[in-house]
A and B are shown apart, each in its own frame.
Chain A
Amino acid sequence: MWKSWPSIKSKPVTMEFEIPTNRTHKFWDYLEAGEFRTTRCNSCGTLTFPPVADCVNCTDSDIEWVELDGRGEVAAFTHVIVRPTSFQERPPYTIVIADLTDGLKILAWIEGSEMTEVEVGMKVQLKAGKTVDGEPSYWFVPE
């Protein structure tokens, strides 16, 4: 379809970034223990997800970890068929953003349901634990 043109292959670059989690590492510690906790500001009470070390509402850095109820409804979803390089080995997956009764929204995969069952308004429950690769993570299941 496209003509082949003369070219030079560059020197390859492989980069793996080391992302600091020092100030919020408890999030992943709790996940490993099967608990989903996120941060609440002790000064103004703002509940935040993703978890933060500094409150965006009042600028305070006095944070506590609170467990969520984790029940909610699907606000938006998609089935990802064409996958990026690092997800090529996996089968297609379904991503949902659920609106939780806790007053937060969370984006995660939904497990344990057929793709055709997923719809906006579907009731879901947040779960925490380890993935098949042993990485701490969280996902939704149908309630």
Chain B
Amino acid sequence: MRKVAVIGVGHSKFGVRKDVNLSELTYEAVKPALEDATVSMPDIDFVAFATVGGMYEESLPAVVAAEYSGFTGAGLVRCEAACASGSAAFYTSYLNVASGMSDLSMAVGMEKMTEVDTPTMMEMIGRAGSYLWEFHNFGMTFPAYYALYASAHMAKYGTTEEDLAEVAIKAHKYGAMNPHARFQKETDMDQVLSSFLVAWPLKLYDCSPICDGSAAVILASEEKAKELGIDTPIWVKGVGHSSDTANLSKRSDFLGLQASVTASRKAYKMAGVGPGDLDVANVHDCFTIAELLAYEDLGFAERGKAAEMVREGETEVGGRLPVNVDGGLKAKGHPIGATGCSMIYELTKQLRDEADSRKRQVPLKNNLALAHNVGGTGHYCYVTILER
């Protein structure tokens, strides 16, 4: 396998983007990524397009968006791994270059979630498990899946609703500094705790918002990066993947996501690093409880100690390990297919010392960053480790 570098990244504004169609939205990430990498459309040999789809008008969105962006003729695939689709596309593009099949490839993630009404969206993503055994008679919703984990974590470790609120407060603090974020305002304990109940114990402010957005990443071989004169290539140092049962009832417990544990151990092993070596991480905080589970699953905190990490500010800029200092899914927004590529965008910027606000640029010591992207409720997981 060859060394592979991230040489260009692009990101759209996340939000209710009824001002653009899915192709125009995709282009908002593709164009800056191409400019960043100093390449043009015909240079890209392969495109992996991430979207969950089924919630907007196109059946073949990859083809439609690729035509609009000028990629017609390139190798093309649509990747689906639920909310980890962006990482699945990144992984596909990474393999394409690492294997020697291409010298330049692109991963682009896009989701358009606001063309249908919210109850219909709840219906579609509530089926993100095992339909007949969880949805048909029981009406599971996406927040309900994570709420089940929250109830078990609270009972076992004494995690509280206030602990969950702390995660939301941190997310909003950094979202307020991120021009791409859906929510660019801070929140406080009262506002989080008094927001309406969605699926106990999760309230509105514990949930990432349904929104539209896109993000793109260009990957190159070492020779290609050199040829293009890329001054700060960001190397793909480790990747890990795993999955878990469709039926939650087949899981051994509800205290953490096994797929996150397995995927992260594979990525650490490939990279030859551990959680203590990281300068910054983006973890999958689709709900506040998910960020706490991630700290424990990824080895940032001991079991039951994640809430303490947040309370003590260890995951803030300047803390032991800054996490989700772009606002995370919670405040930045979670256009599901775009999220994995959005994480790589953020970490690439951080490792280049180019965060859009100096207030949220992390100090770099080991030049290592980790992206943790979960699909469904630990149904899929991808972990990526990047190095400057």
Contacts and interface: CB of A to CB of B under 8 A. Distances in A.
A and B interact:
yes
Interface string A94-114: 010100000011111100000
B141 interface: yes
Given A78-B148, A79-B197, A95 B138 contact: yes
Nearest to A77: B151
A34 to B, nearest CB: 16
Contacts of B197: 79, 81-82
Contacts of B131: 19
Given A50-B130, A95-B144, A5 B152 contact: no
Contact of A75 (B16, B115, B254): B254
A120 interface: yes
A3 B151 CA distance: 38
Contact of B249 (A2, A86, A106, A121): A106
Given A95-B144, A107-B133, A79 B119 contact: no
B137 A131 contact: yes
Given A75-B152, A85-B122, A97 B254 contact: yes
Contact of A2 (B18, B134, B140, B151): B18
Nearest to B122: A84
A82 B248 contact: no
B312 interface: no
Which size class do B's interface residues fall under?
35 or more
B199 A82 contact: yes
Nearest to B202: A78
Interface in B319-351: none
Contacts of B249: 49-50, 97, 104-107
A106 B148 CA distance: 13
Interface string B48-90: 0000000001000000000000000000000000000000000
Most B CB contacts (10 A, CB to CB) among A7, A76, A77, A106 go to: A76
Interface in B187-202: 196-202
Contacts of A88: 119
B140 A95 contact: yes
Nearest to A115: B200
A135 B137 contact: yes
Contact of B200 (A7, A10, A79): A79
Contacts of A19: 131-132
Contact of A82 (B115, B141, B247): B141
Contacts of A5: 18-19
A7 B196 CA distance: 31
Nearest to A121: B155
Nearest to A107: B249
Interface of B: 16, 18-19, 57, 115, 119-120, 122-123, 126, 130-134, 137-141, 143-144, 147-152, 154-156, 196-202, 247-251, 253-254
23 contacts: A75-B152, A76-B149, A78-B148, A78-B199, A80-B141, A82-B141, A82-B199, A83-B141, A84-B119, A84-B122, A84-B123, A85-B120, A85-B123, A86-B123, A87-B139, A90-B139, A95-B138, A95-B148, A106-B249, A107-B249, A120-B152, A121-B155, A137-B137
* The 6 nearest A-B residue pairs measured at CB: A120-B155, A78-B147, A87-B139, A84-B123, A76-B148, A79-B200
